[in-house]
Amino acid sequence: MKIHAHAKVNIFLKITGEKEHSSGQIYHTILSRFMRVESLYDTIRFVPCECEHFTIEGCDDIPLESNTIYQAYKALNAHTGDLDILNFFYKHKVVVTKRIPSGAGLGGGSSDAAAFMRLVKKSCDLLISTEELARIGATIGSDIPFFIYNYPSANVSGFGEVVEPFEESPLDLELYTPPIHCNTAAVYQEFRTHFLDKINLCSFIGWDKIDSKTLLEMIADPFVLNDLYAPALKVCPKLEKVAEEKKGWFFSGSGSTFFQIKPCE
């Protein structure tokens, strides 16, 4: 039993404000176009194995409690109370083949958690809708609902829980991820401190109706397309040199991946 957990890029990402989350915390709200990257994915397998406890292999550099897959496992158990899930993972271990770099703005951890949840639903015959699975996923990470729905392209808004499919084929993208880890929380904090008061909601009206290729050609400025680009450069100064080398490329999420439409040969 295996499933691919694809990366994503943000074609555009605009911060629309702040409001109280159901958790009681104040979080940013967004409007963004998420696009699945067909050529880059982690692989998650459920392998028969007698296990005394929930076991993950392939993520040794991540503490278990911080692992999004483990968090998804706990959230599914808490929500469903289904003993079939517990029993299944006494007899199977989770093996992850990582290809998506972390801290790269590609959603690797969120994609892994969502793929895990989708595979558990199938493997354990859970009577749970995709919408309900997405609501559970949203309690773990804001990008997870997009990956639960598994749309090739979608407009994502709110805290990330509103996912509306956008009818277009995924672009053939070229990615460049430097060995620089961007801390998402730090990038958002930098935005809150120095950029939040510069939000202009009128500046991106209608972007959610325009196809991604046209948007990239029409706007063509990574600072305009992605509100987190400028704060990411402040938080990770080493990105400045990469930005110079990749002038004309775009920036995904909170970084550090740059992307462009793959040139025709």
Instruction: Report the range of poorest mean pLDDT among 4-13, 54-63, 108-117, 132-141.
Output: 54-63
- Written as six digits, the tokens of 200 are 């202009």
Query: Confidence class of residue 23 from pLDDT cuts 50, 70 and 90?
Result: confident
What kind and span of H or E run contains 85? helix 83-88
38 pLDDT more than 90: yes
Domains and CATH numbers, the chain: 2-165 (3.30.230.10), 173-261 (no CATH)
Does the global pTM surpass 0.85?
A: yes
Residue type present at position 231: P
Active site residues: 8, 143
The pLDDT score that the predictor gives to residue 234 is 95
Q: How confident is the model at residue 265 (pLDDT cuts 50, 70, 90)?
A: low
Quote the pLDDT of residue 3.
98
| Rounded Cα–Cα distance for residues 153 and 169 (Å) | 7
Assess whether pLDDT exceeds 70 at residue 181: yes
Extract the tokens encoding 224: 């305009």
Q: List the beta strands (DSSP E) in 21-113.
A: 26-48, 56-57, 92-97
Helices (H), 92-228: 108-123, 130-138, 144-149, 184-194, 212-219, 222-225
DSSP classification of residue 54: -
Query: Which residue carries 């074609």 as its tokens?
Result: 11
Q: How many angstroms separate the first and last alpha carbons of the chain?
A: 37
Q: Is 116 exposed, middle or buried, given 0-12, 13-18 or 19+ CB atoms closer than 10 A? A: buried
pLDDT recorded at residue 255: 84
- Alpha-carbon Rg for the chain, nearest whole angstrom, is 19
Sign of CA dihedral 148, 149, 155, 161: negative
